[in-house]
Amino acid sequence: MKLTISIFYFIFSLFFSAAEVPDEIVAALKIGKSSELVKYFAEKVSVKISNQEDVLSKPQAEANIKYFFEKHAVKAFSSSHISSMNNSAQYITGTLETANGKFRVSILIRNNLISQFRIEDDNE
């Protein structure tokens, strides 16, 4: 029964949440363009790239992400899970494939602005 409810919730969240997530965020990740991604950042963003984590201003976050994309040329991004936590928060997880390996990406969007952005090594 618990499995059935979990499957129903997952399918329900895919159909009703996917349309709410800005396609531009996913598109920016697919091409590794930090200037497009930062348009959706809140004024202060919690950013974690590999082992470095901090709360940064928009310009600082953009500089860090731009440096990451320059160091790791993006080949592809595929979202593995998109969900809404309530009416004002959404969560995206996915895999970023780069020239130097794969990374797990997690994004928390509150009130249509990214408040948390994480890129972590994908240790399959």
pLDDT of residue 19: 41
Type of residue found at 111: N
The architecture of the domain spanning 2-121 is Roll (3.10)
pLDDT of residue 83: 77
State the CB neighbour count (10 A cutoff) for residue 83: 19
pLDDT of residue 82: 78
Per-residue confidence of the chain (124 residues) as pLDDT tens digits?
Answer: 555 555 555 555 544 444 455 688 989 999 999 999 999 999 999 999 988 999 999 999 999 999 999 999 999 999 888 777 777 788 899 999 999 899 999 999 998 899 999 999 986 5
Query: HEC profile for 48-81?
Result: EECCEEEEEEHHHHHHHHHHHHHHCCEEEEEEEE
pLDDT of residue 117: 96
